[in-house]
Structure 1
Amino acid sequence: MKHFSISVLLLLCFFFGYAQDKNVNQLLEELKKSTSDTSRLRIYTKLSTTYTFTDAEKKFYYANKSRLLADKLGIDTLVVHGFVDMGISHGLRNNTDSALFYFSTAYVKAKQINHKNGMARALGSIGYAYDRLDNKEEAIKNILQALELYKEIKFKKGINQSYVNLGSLYYDIEQYKVAESYFKLALQTAIEGKEQKGIAHGYFTLGNTYKELKDNKKAREHYSKGLEIAIKIENPSEIALARWGLGQVDAIEKNYNEALKQFQIALKINREIKNEYHKDAVLISIAEAYIQLKDYKKAEPYAMEVYNNALRTNFLVVLSKALPLVIEINKEQRKFEVALEYQTKLMTVIDSLNSEKTTKNVVLADFERIRSENDNLVKDNSQIAAKNTNYVKTIFITSVLLLFVVMLLILYYIRNKEKKAINELLQSQKEEIASVNIELETLNKEIIVQNDELEQLNKVKNKFFSIVSHDLRSPLATLKMLFGLYRRGDLSEAELTELLSQLEDTIYNTAVFLDNLLEWSKSQLDGIVVKPTSFDVKEQVDANIRLLETQINIKQLRIENTIEKPVIAFADKNMINVVIRNLISNAVKFCNPNDSIIVKAETKNDKIVICIRDTGPGIAEKDLDKLFNLEHTITTSNTGEKGHQIGLVLCKDMVEQNNGAIRVESKIGEGTVFCIDLPKI
């Protein structure tokens, strides 16, 4: 469980501080009675901290209230901490880009007023955001800067937590000896400051490190010391961590029954204090222990609980840990159909986690190819420039000769009877030079045309790749996995036949889509040619809903095609098919489970209007104008899936090629509607 991730588990402490003695109800009662701004500011700040582990949205609400009131009272230092807490709320909800925005805003504000504690906390938070973006180098860099600031102001708790954070980051990249050195520094700092919670936590982090260094004896000793102190100071979160660590050591030594005792204690504590993240880690440890004991029925409810928790919170990393356990449990109980269903969900999660990295690799590879082609063009242009230089020299020499001849003609005009012949010769040379200049101009125009054609081909190729990666990867991965199960003997021939029949429609629709896509791409590479025909919009919507049926069922969405009678449009059928599929696919991707998608179409005057409406989270007003250009290219769905705006740029291009228009209306929390106008027959 070291990469659950331990850095997230430990970095959380950096932001959340130490447990509050007052519970939420007490603070809310105090808030009702408070009349002064300073009292309300204090309570807002405590409520923001208290809601950290239980309700990230309420944390944001009270952090924002605290920031606004602090700004009104002119307390700039608390404005800084309000921005940091708002960023933490977004970080807890996996909105890492928004979190990074608030952390950066906090740092700028703190720097303006030279508030070093605020600067350090903001830098540590920025390090956390980079860790969530899997950029360990930037994470370490920012936390080191935070450490230096904490040392300047001699803030021991900040110094201690920076050591812990650095150790946890090196722990995650498996540099355990470096991690050990930072954890030892953290423990020493806590001991010097007589900070009992910090000491308990220091023993826990060192226990983790020794566990990874295969020194189980030292690991057990440190977990036990941490547990002893945590019990003494009655700190439930540290007790749960120490129990979990001791259980992991027992599991490594195959003492699974002893491990389960420790895990159950840790689970009970985490349920009581509502620490959802650590609770999921412990649930996975319990499920793994029961699997090792081959008691799959007992393992199942724990694995399903963490799976449902991750599904509810859209935490893809936890889903990627829980789904393999659920799959193994069902396979061992010979529930192959259920296992296959969860295997498909796992492929979708893995695809979402890897899509951004894959896209970057494709773009980088393509960039290298284009740069190579540009180098060749530069070389060709250099050769042409050299030829132009030679022509200029020739023209210059010719001009000098012409001048010399003219002088001779003036001197010997009367006696030179060959004047006419010489003039004719000069005229011929001028015509040749003019002809050479015309040829050069033509050659330059041809090069410009070739560059434009190359750029157009690159655009077409990029559009083609974006459609293929967007629509073909998931069904092909599912089919590949199914055959893999059959080849390993996990499925009988009868079971394979039954499952294939269930996938028949998806495979058929995918094949039809591939044929259409290849035909469209051929027309694009031969030159963009729109072939408008009359077609029924309802049929195209139904076909695309069937194609996306698997993703719709996984997210339990309600989708309705309200087009009852034929609505006939006059446009390129294949291109509009791609547009409809992209818009429905985007609605599916960004909707929450149990949301609705409604498709309708109607005739207005001389146009066909097709609208796709969803009840998803909506789009911020500031982002609406950027949807159809490449300025705003990456968004994140509620399940963490990365969305590249290339699809919407492609939709706009295709609709406009067909003398149509596309528009979007959306509000945060009220859903989104995309409408396209097309000519009618």
Structure 2
Amino acid sequence: MRVLLFLFLLLTWIFIFPDRWTLSAQPPPIDSLLHALQLHPQRDTVRVKLLNQLGRAYFTKDAVMAALYAQEAWHLGDSLQYTEGLIWATRNLALVENTKGNLDKQMDLTMNALQLAERSGQLRATGILYNDIGNIFIEQEHPEQALPYLKRSLLIKQRLHEQAESAKTLNNIGSTYMQLRKLDSALLYLRESEKLKLALHDERGLGFTYENMGLIYELQGQYAASLHYLEESLRYYTASDNLPGTGKAHLNLGKVNTLLKRYAAAATHLQKAAGINASQQNAKNEMIYYLYLARLDSSRQDYTAALQHYNQYMELKDQFFAVEKARIINNTREKYESEKKQRENQLLKKEQQTNLSTIRQQRVLVAVCSLLLLILFVITLLLYRLYRRQQELSQQLNSRNEEVSLQNRIILEQNTTLENLNQVKDKIFSVISHDLRSPLSILEGMLFLLRDRKIPAEQFRQYTDELWRDMKNTAYMMDNLLNWASSQMKGIRVKADDFEITEVFNREFELLQSLSRQKEVQLSHQLLRPVLVYADPEMIRVVLRNLINNAIKFTPAGKGIHISGQVSGAFLEICIRDEGIGIPEKDQHKVFSNIYYSTSGTQNEKGCGLGLPLSKDFVERNQGRIWFRSQPGQGTSFYFTVPLAEEEALTDTQIRGYANVQMD
């Protein structure tokens, strides 16, 4: 009887005061909500409200569970055509996207919920959603766009006497003024928010307000006051079991303790933030963690660790940039496709209306003409003329349909071309934003430390060989990228001619000697007397350079690389054999494919995955073929053939007059 009485009272409260739990300083316990949901299996509006309350309660504790309850609430609300339930379910889904850092997707979902709220005249929901939109603009660092939405939200909440919600919006307006660097105005709104939240015993909300106040005092250089309020924010976040807020509080405390030279406390807070980041998988917070850790190491004069953590920060920043770029591209593409479909639907509707109108007119004409046929012969002649006119219109319509079909085919061909060019563009941007930026970021970090005299010049010289090798690999990578882009965009042509391949090989061999000597790899070759081949010398040079450079990249110090060649029929066959790490069997099919397979070398040399596919393309363009044999742990041998010139004598299949050269 007690259980039934509890369930009755709980459901009565939800039904009479929908969504009032969000007004109170402390939300109802999750256990109570779960118990009520178990006792109410009926698929009705009451269940939708319980699901939405559970989704909101799980938001700061378990984003996965919050998403599951929000999705169930949305589907059930949609099937019941329950607008109020759809609004709060959509808002909960938007909040889940915020925990993942997907601000664009959060904005789309929040706008959808706002449209439903405004159409259905739900003023309270409209005020809350205006506040959410302002929050998104704050996180996107667009405070000037956030302020109008937040002030509209505050007016609505004050009109409805919603003290708890007003406290939230006052806090957010303070955050906006903080981003605008109007710190006095920010503190004014935050003090008002603090008063309301203290009166309501809103532990969860006080965590946000004290965090903002701590950040403002940090901007003003009052680090002791900042430390006090940030510690208060950590206390309230922990008390309200707000895991994302706790992670941010530890990051902020790590930064302020570093500024106060309390290095042990700073390290402790940053370590705790790292543990929370691992569970939350928030890429932005993880990036900030390595930046603050690098500053802490630099303050402790541990410049090696500072450089390492700064490089990790730059790498995460590049990854975050790439993810954000991909997300923007996908969102833009989705919006474009949606708008395109809407335009097509509108055109189809207009065409259908026109056709229906034409059909109605024709039916009327046929009926009138049928009646008049009984009266006048003249009307029959007029009908005949109308019929002929209709035939002409039909022919014109068919002709226009053919023209439209032809235009559609042309558009499809143009779309295919644009998609191919987009793939080339995306690959170029990917290589430039990741593979080419990483060596420059490392060089930037080293020069930063050298410029500020945080690293001795003698220690900097120890890194020059490694920096030189990275920049050399980057230069080769750029050459491959440009050649590949020209090839993909049909901007490269084969200029075949008779030439001595040994001269081309010797020039490339001399250029790569310094690279192999840097890595302590033994590079040797056994080639024939000068041999004339018929091919594009520049393409063959790129193939030789890519294959030899690739062998150096995957051969550890102390091992060797051997190049040999022999005449086989009407072709010259060249082999580059290394004693490197080999290619795993599961990845061998990717080597010459368009997957752009790339791994780091034995000394973490970077690559863009274009060298081998480009070499295959160039060899096949010159009527040759390329293949390889590899055993993991024992080495790899790459082979390719080049057609011989007509003047070349093919009396002996084995190349004679060779020379041995070994570089240690």
Report what 1:32 is aligned to. Answer: 38
Corresponding residue to 2:295 among 322, 328, 339: 328
SS in 2 for 1:527: coil
Corresponding residue to 2:267 among 258, 277, 300: 300
Whole-Å Cα distance in 1 between the matches of residues 49 and 422 of structure 2?
Answer: 56
**Counterparts in 2 of 1:11-90, with a 5 A limit?**
18-36=24-42, 37-90=44-97
**Counterparts in 2 of 1:542-557, with a 5 A limit?**
none
Kindly tell me: are residues 334 and 145 of structure 1, through their superposed partners in 2, closer, same or farther at Cα, counting changes over 3 Å? closer
Q: What is the TM-score when the length of structure 2 is the normalising length?
A: 0.52
- On the 8 A contact 2:244/2:280 being kept in 1, the answer is no
Kindly tell me: are residues 110 and 539 of structure 1, through their superposed partners in 2, closer, same or farther at Cα, counting changes over 3 Å? farther
Equivalenced residue count is: 432
TM superposition shift of 1:85: 1.3
TM superposition shift of 1:79: 1.4
Q: What is the TM-score when the length of structure 1 is the normalising length?
A: 0.50
- On the 8 A contact 2:99/2:282 being kept in 1, the answer is no
TM superposition shift of 1:102: 1.6
TM superposition shift of 1:235: 3.6
The one-letter amino acid paired with 2:33 is: L
**Counterparts in 2 of 1:365-514, with a 5 A limit?**
466=429, 467-493=431-457, 495-500=459-464, 506-514=470-478
Residues 575-615 of structure 1: CA deviation (Å, up to 9, x unaligned): x78x6168x89xxxxxxxxxxxxx9xxxxxxxx9x9xxxxx
Whole-Å Cα distance in 2 between the matches of residues 240 and 294 of structure 1?
Answer: 25
Kindly tell me: are residues 525 and 251 of structure 1, through their superposed partners in 2, closer, same or farther at Cα, counting changes over 3 Å? closer
Report what 1:108 is aligned to. Answer: 115
TM superposition shift of 1:525: 9.3
The one-letter amino acid paired with 1:34 is: H
Q: Percent identity?
A: 18
Kindly tell me: are residues 259 and 86 of structure 1, through their superposed partners in 2, closer, same or farther at Cα, counting changes over 3 Å? closer
1:284 partnered with 2:251 = yes
- On the 8 A contact 2:319/2:434 being kept in 1, the answer is no
Residues 546-570 of structure 1: CA deviation (Å, up to 9, x unaligned): 89xxxxxxxxxxx99533797798x
Whole-Å Cα distance in 2 between the matches of residues 295 and 151 of structure 1?
Answer: 43
The one-letter amino acid paired with 1:25 is: D
Report what 1:339 is aligned to. Answer: 306
Residues 83-113 of structure 1: CA deviation (Å, up to 9, x unaligned): 1111111122111222122222223333443
The one-letter amino acid paired with 1:476 is: L
Report what 2:141 is aligned to. Answer: 134
- On the 8 A contact 2:322/2:433 being kept in 1, the answer is no
Corresponding residue to 2:191 among 168, 179, 203: 203
- On the 8 A contact 2:164/2:200 being kept in 1, the answer is no
- On the 8 A contact 1:544/1:580 being kept in 2, the answer is no
Whole-Å Cα distance in 1 between the matches of residues 227 and 54 of structure 2?
Answer: 35
Residues 41-79 of structure 1: CA deviation (Å, up to 9, x unaligned): 332122111112112222121122222233344432121
The one-letter amino acid paired with 1:132 is: E
- On the 8 A contact 1:126/1:142 being kept in 2, the answer is yes
Report what 1:622 is aligned to. Answer: none
1:94 partnered with 2:101 = yes
- On the 8 A contact 1:130/1:138 being kept in 2, the answer is yes
Kindly tell me: are residues 293 and 469 of structure 1, through their superposed partners in 2, closer, same or farther at Cα, counting changes over 3 Å? closer
The one-letter amino acid paired with 1:580 is: Y
SS in 2 for 1:511: helix
SS in 2 for 1:169: helix
TM superposition shift of 1:335: 3.1
Kindly tell me: are residues 317 and 143 of structure 1, through their superposed partners in 2, closer, same or farther at Cα, counting changes over 3 Å? same
Kindly tell me: are residues 25 and 316 of structure 1, through their superposed partners in 2, closer, same or farther at Cα, counting changes over 3 Å? same
- On the 8 A contact 2:101/2:284 being kept in 1, the answer is no
Kindly tell me: are residues 581 and 308 of structure 1, through their superposed partners in 2, closer, same or farther at Cα, counting changes over 3 Å? farther
Whole-Å Cα distance in 2 between the matches of residues 306 and 326 of structure 1?
Answer: 11
Kindly tell me: are residues 248 and 32 of structure 1, through their superposed partners in 2, closer, same or farther at Cα, counting changes over 3 Å? same
Whole-Å Cα distance in 1 between the matches of residues 153 and 292 of structure 2?
Answer: 39
Whole-Å Cα distance in 2 between the matches of residues 75 and 568 of structure 1?
Answer: 52
Whole-Å Cα distance in 1 between the matches of residues 147 and 319 of structure 2?
Answer: 26
Residues 276-300 of structure 1: CA deviation (Å, up to 9, x unaligned): 3432343234324433443423321
Whole-Å Cα distance in 1 between the matches of residues 426 and 52 of structure 2?
Answer: 49
What is the RMSD computed on CA atoms of the aligned residues? 5.5
Kindly tell me: are residues 271 and 539 of structure 1, through their superposed partners in 2, closer, same or farther at Cα, counting changes over 3 Å? farther
**Counterparts in 2 of 1:162-201, with a 5 A limit?**
162-176=169-183, 179=186, 183=189
Residues 186-231 of structure 1: CA deviation (Å, up to 9, x unaligned): xxxxxxxxxxxxxxxx5265xxxxxxxxxxxxxxxxx7xx4xx766
SS in 2 for 1:580: coil
- On the 8 A contact 1:460/1:525 being kept in 2, the answer is no
Kindly tell me: are residues 144 and 521 of structure 1, through their superposed partners in 2, closer, same or farther at Cα, counting changes over 3 Å? same
Whole-Å Cα distance in 1 between the matches of residues 467 and 90 of structure 2?
Answer: 49
Whole-Å Cα distance in 2 between the matches of residues 524 and 358 of structure 1?
Answer: 23
- On the 8 A contact 1:506/1:546 being kept in 2, the answer is no
Whole-Å Cα distance in 1 between the matches of residues 81 and 486 of structure 2?
Answer: 64
- On the 8 A contact 1:83/1:102 being kept in 2, the answer is yes
Residues 338-375 of structure 1: CA deviation (Å, up to 9, x unaligned): 2111111222344466679999xxxxxxxxxxxxxxxx
Whole-Å Cα distance in 2 between the matches of residues 138 and 277 of structure 1?
Answer: 25
TM superposition shift of 1:171: 2.8
Whole-Å Cα distance in 1 between the matches of residues 552 and 239 of structure 2?
Answer: 47
Whole-Å Cα distance in 2 between the matches of residues 99 and 351 of structure 1?
Answer: 23
TM superposition shift of 1:464: 9.3
Residues 443-492 of structure 1: CA deviation (Å, up to 9, x unaligned): xxxxxxxxxxxx9xx99996796353453122112112113313433223
Residues 280-321 of structure 1: CA deviation (Å, up to 9, x unaligned): 343234324433443423321212332453465444543454
Whole-Å Cα distance in 2 between the matches of residues 130 and 246 of structure 1?
Answer: 19
Structure 2 residue runs without a partner (length 5+): 1-19, 327-417, 495-535, 556-580, 601-608, 623-640, 643-664
- On the 8 A contact 2:187/2:213 being kept in 1, the answer is no
Report what 1:236 is aligned to. Answer: 203
